[in-house]
Every structure is written in C-alpha cells, then in structure tokens.
Amino acid sequence: MQHTHDVALLLARFQFAFTVGVHIVFPAFSIGLATYLAVLEGLWLKTKQNVFLDLYRYWLKVFSLVFGMGVVSGLVMAYQFGTNWSAFSLKAGPITGVLLSYEVMTAFFLEAGFLGIMLFGMNKVGKKLHYTATCTVAFGTLISATWILASNSWMQTPQGYHIDQATGRFLPDDWLAIIFTPSFPYRLVHMGLAAFLSVAFAVGATAAWHLLKERKQGLAASNPVRVMFSMALWMITIVAPLQLLAGDMHGLNTLKYQPAKVAAMEGDWESEGRAPEILFGIPDMKEERTKYAIKIPYAGSLILTHSLEGKVPGLKDYPKDERAPAQVVFFSFRIMIALGCLMILAGFASLWLRWKKRFYNSTFFQRFMLLMGPSGFLAILCGWVTTEVGRQPWTVYGQLRTVDSASPLMASSLTFSVVLFVIVYCFIFGTGLMFLFRMLRKTPEVGESTDGTVRIGMRPEIVESVRGGSR
C-alpha cells in the first residue's frame, strides 16, 4: 500500500483500538455479572434467604446499565469491520462474517429477548420463569464470548481455508477446523476466567468500600455487604490461581503458533537456549536490543519451555517488517502479569484473614481490595493489547497484512470520525461511569422484598419524579 495512506491507516487503527477497547470492558462486565446474578437468584430460590434477593436487585441495576453500554458500543463494532477494514471484510468475510452471524443468531437475540423479562418481568412471569430468563441471559453472554473468540482465534491462528488465487479471498474448507483453531480453547478459557475475575474484583471493591464506610460511621457491617465481600473473595481465591494456569497454557500455545509474538512479549532478540527472563527493560526496535534489562538467568527458558535447555524465539529470527512493536507488547504483558500476581495475593490474604477471623475487620485489606477494584478490567485491556499488538503486522496471521486490510478512506474522513468517537465516548461512557459509581455508593437495601410483592429492578428515584407531574 502507498505511503500516502500511512496517516489514514494509523487513524483507522487508533479508532478501532479505541472503540473496541472501550467496548470490551462492558461485555466482560456483563459476562461475569450475569453469571453472578444467576447464582444469586438461584441461591435465593433455594435458600429463601432474602439477602440474596437484595443483592440480586442491587446488582441487576448495575447490570442493566452496563449491558446497555455494551449493546450500544457493540453495535459500532458490527459495522466498523466494513467502514474501516473493508479490504479485510471482502477477503475474510466468508469466514469471520459467518462466525459473527452465528454470534448474533445464537447469542445477541437470546440476551436481548430475555433481558426485558429479567429487568422488568418479575411480577409478570413468576419466579421460576424469571430465573430461567436470568440464566438464559447469562448463557447468552457466554455463547457470545465463544463465537467472538472463535472469530478472533481464527484471525490469530487461521486454518481450515484456502486462498483463492484470483481474488485473494479466504475460502472456507472445513468449518469445524475454522471454529476450533489451535488458540481458541485457551483464549476462551483465559477470557472467560478474566471476565469472572474482573467482576469478582468489582464486587469485592464495592463491598470493601461499604465495609470501610460503615466502620467509619461506627456501624456494624451489614449482612448484604458481608455476603458480597465473602462471595467475591471465594471466587478470587479459586479463580485467580486457575487463571495463572490458563494464562501459562495460553502462553505455551502462543509460543507454538505465534513465536514472534512471544519474542516481542519477552523482549528477546536472539533465539537461544538457557535464555534469561527479562524482568524489566526497554525494547528498542531500531537498535534491536532491550536496554537496561534486568534478567533472571535461565528463567526465560524455564517459563516458556518448562526446561532449562529449551530454545526460545528472538525477534531477530523474523524480518524487520514482520516484527510486532515490542515496546508496547513488552509492557502491556508485564502489567497484566503484575496485576495477576496481586490478584492471587488477594486470594491468599483473604484465606489467611478468614483463618484469623479478621476477614471483615482488616481495614488494610479492605483498602487494598478497593484499590484492586478495576484491576480485572485493566488486566483484560493489557491482555488484549498484548495479543492484538503482538500479532502485528497481520490481521489474519501470516496471511493478510494490516496495511492491506484497510478501507479506501481519506485521512480527513478518519480524522472526522476519530474526533467524534473520542468526544462522544468520553461524554457517554464518562457519564455512565459516574452513574455507576453513584449506584455503587448506595448501600444494598435490606428486606424490602420480604412481603412477596417483589419488584425486581424497581427504581424508587423515578417514582417521585413521576408523581409530581401526572395530569
């Protein structure tokens, strides 16, 4: 592609990264929260303890807001492949477009169809059916994740196709191979666990904030807040170590299928056995070395190959125009790992505090959990930056370059849309975040739901606003 398009390409990439980066936070939140809600409603139906219904209602309001933001930011994604990556769409549409169509038909409709009942239907359909709706929505979010990760995984580790010589299009040969690509199971598990962890930390931080506030006001910790805190930390204790394992396996899979990405993640330039692990450094693409590196001898080989002698790839194995920008990938990967370690630490700390009977009393731990609130989402963003920047310069790995994927758009059109997207997203999602914090600042209401007239998702705020103005 001509160099005159470089600015347009950069703008298109920025726009996609920005919009998808904002978007991914919401589906991750929805996936984890929908499952949490299904668990809460299930526990309420089984144990008849109202605390679970109180928590369900509390988090349902959050879900409604977060899901709404996910839908509107997701609509943009469904069209952005065509508006900004039309060459990619034309060539890979017969494969990725098909997977997205299945996502819409099996997941989006399911979520949307039962969301109305979940949010507004408790009085209309009865408890059992309402619980079914909640579970259906939760199941829908998981199906959605499955298809979109199948699509992304095909772009990362493509198989099951051949390229039509005349048109350069990817023609499908074997649909099962296309869906079940080598990186797909690892990516799915890694992202699924990440969504659960993110929500566990969001719930944990909310509970921590209320525990701290109640203590400051001299009150005893309220029951819903304690239940929330405890549930979140059991989840973290179990899932965070599992995520380490899943991440390690995903990394080994990447080493096998996308070794150039691993070289960029590690900041390794020479391919060698007995390779050190670079803890910190600054990769320099021009000088082809990682400056100021702090290394642990042999650890690189040990982590990546699980043996001291194992050979790890180096960026110099690949031509210069096939190397991912290592500065970005190197750091995003390390931030993700650091956050992961803190998450595991949180889990172990909670076990120790439970054992010492200080679980609800340690203000230090509660402050730490409050700080860790956004850690899951940050880790998700860093993980996606690692995998998406790390697979550059390709959109379909090894087959179609990013430069050859773009739309025939002028830089001026892209400037217009980038500026609009940034302004509108900051306003819309900034406001959404403000509303979210407002909601979370309220203490879960206790006991309103004991008399059988359950009003799920009710918003008392609007009652007043409406009462005043009726004719």
Partner 1 sequence: MSGLAYWLPVVWAVIVVVAITIYVVLDGFDLGVGMLFAFEKDPSDRNVMVHTIAPVWDGNETWMILGGAVLFGVFPGGYSTLLPAFYIPIILMLLALIFRGVSFEYRILAHTEREKIVWNYGFMFGSALASFCQGAILGGYVQGVSITNGIFSGSVMDWLSPFSLLCGLAVMCGYALLGATWLVWRTGGALEKRCRRWSEVLAVAMFFCIVAVSLWTPFLNAPYLRRWTEWPNIILVSPVPLLLVVCGAVMASALRKGSHRVPFFCALGWFLLTLVGLAITVWPYAIPPSLKLWDVASPISSQLVVLGGAVILLPIVLAYTVYSYHVFRGKVSAEDATHY
Identify residues 107-136 at the interface with partner 1 (CB under 8 A).
Answer: 108-110, 112-117, 119-121, 123-125
Near partner 1 by CB under 8 A: residue from 218, 319, 408, 452: 408
Nearest distance in Å: CB 421, partner 1 = 7
Question: What's the per-residue H, E or C state across 350-413?
Answer: HHHHHHCCCCCCCHHHHHHHHHCCCHHHHHHHHHHHHHHHHCCCEEECCCEECCCCCCCCCHHH
If residue 296 lies in a helix (H) or strand (E), which one and from where to where?
strand 289-296
CB 133 within 8 A of CB 142: no
CB 212 within 8 A of CB 363: yes
* 79 forms part of the interface with partner 1 (CB under 8 A): yes
Q: Which is nearer to partner 1, 48 or 128 (CB)?
A: 128
Q: Which two tokens stand for residue 307?
A: 């043996």
* 420 forms part of the interface with partner 1 (CB under 8 A): yes
* 245 forms part of the interface with partner 1 (CB under 8 A): no
Nearest distance in Å: CB 30, partner 1 = 12
Q: Site mask, partner 1, residues 87-106, x = CB under 8 A?
A: x-xxxxxxxxxxxxxxxxxx
Nearest distance in Å: CB 166, partner 1 = 12
* 83 forms part of the interface with partner 1 (CB under 8 A): yes
Q: What's the Cα-to-Cα distance from 245 to each of 54, 239, 251, 252, 383, rounded to whole Å?
A: 35, 10, 10, 11, 15
In whole angstroms, what separates CA 264 from the centre of its chain?
22
Near partner 1 by CB under 8 A: residue from 410, 411, 422, 446: 410
Site for partner 1 in 155-184 (CB under 8 A): 169, 171-173, 175
Q: Rounded to the nearest 10 degrees, what angle do helices 50-84 and 411-441 cross at? A: 180
Near partner 1 by CB under 8 A: residue from 76, 177, 242, 370: 76
Near partner 1 by CB under 8 A: residue from 16, 81, 269, 331: 81
Q: Which is nearer to partner 1, 169 or 274 (CB)?
A: 169
Nearest distance in Å: CB 281, partner 1 = 40
Near partner 1 by CB under 8 A: residue from 64, 305, 399, 415: 64
E-state strands within 119-276: 161-163, 170-172
Nearest distance in Å: CB 87, partner 1 = 7
In whole angstroms, what separates CA 34 from the centre of its chain?
14
Nearest distance in Å: CB 82, partner 1 = 3
Single out the segment in contact with partner 1 by CB under 8 A; choices: 294-302, 332-340, 357-365, 404-412. Answer: 404-412
Site for partner 1 in 430-459 (CB under 8 A): 431-432, 435, 438-439, 455, 457-459
Contacts of 238 by beta carbon, 8 Å cutoff, 6+ apart: 347
* 258 forms part of the interface with partner 1 (CB under 8 A): no
Could you give the CA distance from residue 171 to residue 190 in angstroms, rounded to a whole number? Answer: 29
Nearest distance in Å: CB 471, partner 1 = 6
Could you give the CA distance from residue 203 to residue 70 in angstroms, rounded to a whole number? Answer: 19
Q: What is the DSSP string of 423-453?
A: HHHHHHHHHHHHHHHHHHHSPPP-STT-SS-
Near partner 1 by CB under 8 A: residue from 1, 18, 45, 68: 68
Near partner 1 by CB under 8 A: residue from 69, 149, 396, 454: 69
Q: Which of 442, 374, 460, 461 is nearest to 55 (CA)?
A: 442
* 421 forms part of the interface with partner 1 (CB under 8 A): yes
182 phi, psi to nearest 5 deg: -60, -30
Nearest distance in Å: CB 56, partner 1 = 15
Single out the segment in contact with partner 1 by CB under 8 A; choices: 82-90, 241-249, 254-262, 294-302. Answer: 82-90
Report how many residues bind partner 1 under the rule CB under 8 A: 86
Start-to-end CA distance of the chain, whole Å, equals 64
Could you give the CA distance from residue 50 to residue 387 in angstroms, rounded to a whole number? Answer: 43
Nearest distance in Å: CB 100, partner 1 = 4
Could you give the CA distance from residue 258 to residue 152 in angstroms, rounded to a whole number? Answer: 14
Q: Which is nearer to partner 1, 367 or 455 (CB)?
A: 455
Question: What type of residue sits at position 75?
Answer: L
Nearest distance in Å: CB 439, partner 1 = 8
Nearest distance in Å: CB 211, partner 1 = 25
